[in-house]
Amino acid sequence: MVAIKDMLQAGTAIRPDGRAVDELRPVSITRNFTDVPEGSVLICCGNTRVMCTATFTAGVPRWRKDSGLGWVTAEYSMLPRATAERTDRESIRGKVGGRTHEISRLIGRVLRGVVDMKALGENQIQIDCDVLQADGGTRTASITGAYVALVDALRWAQRKRLIRSADKVLKDAVSAVSVGIINGTPMLDLPYIEDSQAMTDMNVAMTGSGDFIEIQGTAEHRPFSRKELDELLALAEKGNKALQAAQRAALNA
């Protein structure tokens, strides 16, 4: 496990948990959390805990056959008691909700953004992100953890000689973090209590080289100005750098 809390310089602590506005929650990344999957990671960002597995399978879905290209897909789900109030299972309700669909698609898109499909060849990687405990930022924690599981699955495939080189498949690293504006102040990495009060909420996925893979900013309560956007993006960059340091530390452990 790798704690990145210390890497962040303290700002002025004004938040419920005593953090500075530009400070991440403690993050830990545990590889090989379970034994069976090709990649299996438990990521904890504060009280948010997500189990991320990566399943490597030879072959691709039918629509992608004979293209010479691979595919990466993701599914996100919350256990019923990840939340303070128990949430009914989507399997029992018989359908997957809009929020779940949206997040699953997001995770898949972001990971595909750093994968060279030609180098992957006609192989598929299925990411599963199951939230064991939710305290805000579950989709960004999922992305950050899933990247590590993806790397492990590719290394496994290289050892099994199913791909030539994991490094060639990976075009870059990727992580994601949430930022938001609370009472007019932009802040980094919102737990549930802050997230539910945010005027603007933004999730930003960035590569190791500092480019964007995905920006999703939303203002239900109050539109945000160009100046606020710039501040949010600066916070997100800082947070993602720290998360990528934690990813590297975990992968080198």
On the CB side of 12, CA atoms within 13 Å amount to 3
The one among 126, 144, 178, 244 contacting a copy of itself by CB under 8 A: 126
CA 57, 131, 64 angle in degrees (round to 5)?
Answer: 25
Q: What number of CA atoms fall less than 13 Å from residue 6's CA on the CB side?
A: 2
One-letter identity of residue 165 = S
Interaction between residue 109 and a copy of itself (CB under 8 A) = yes
Question: Least CB distance from residue 17 to a copy of itself, whole Å?
Answer: 14
Q: Which of 7, 219, 249, 251 binds a copy of itself (CB under 8 A)?
A: 219
Stretch that binds a copy of itself, among 58-66, 95-103, 137-145, 238-246 (CB under 8 A): 95-103
Give the residue among 81, 80, 107 at the shortest CA–CA distance from 93.
Answer: 80
Span of 10-18, 175-183, 213-221, 241-249 interacting with a copy of itself by CB under 8 A: 213-221
Asked if residue 28 binds a copy of itself (CB under 8 A), the reply is: no
Per-residue interface string for the shown chain with a copy of itself, residues 41-80, x marking contact by CB under 8 A: ------x-x-x-x-x-x-----------------x-x-xx
| Pair 152, 99: CB distance under 8 Å | no
Decide if residue 144 touches a copy of itself (CB under 8 A): no
* Residue 137 structure tokens: 């930022």
DSSP 69-113: --EEEEEEEE-GGGSSSPPPPHHHHTS--HHHHHHHHHHHHHHHT
Residues that bind a copy of itself (CB under 8 A): 34-37, 40, 47, 49, 51, 53, 55, 57, 75, 77, 79-84, 86, 89-102, 104-105, 109, 112-113, 126, 128, 130, 132-133, 172, 202, 207, 209-221, 223-226, 229, 233
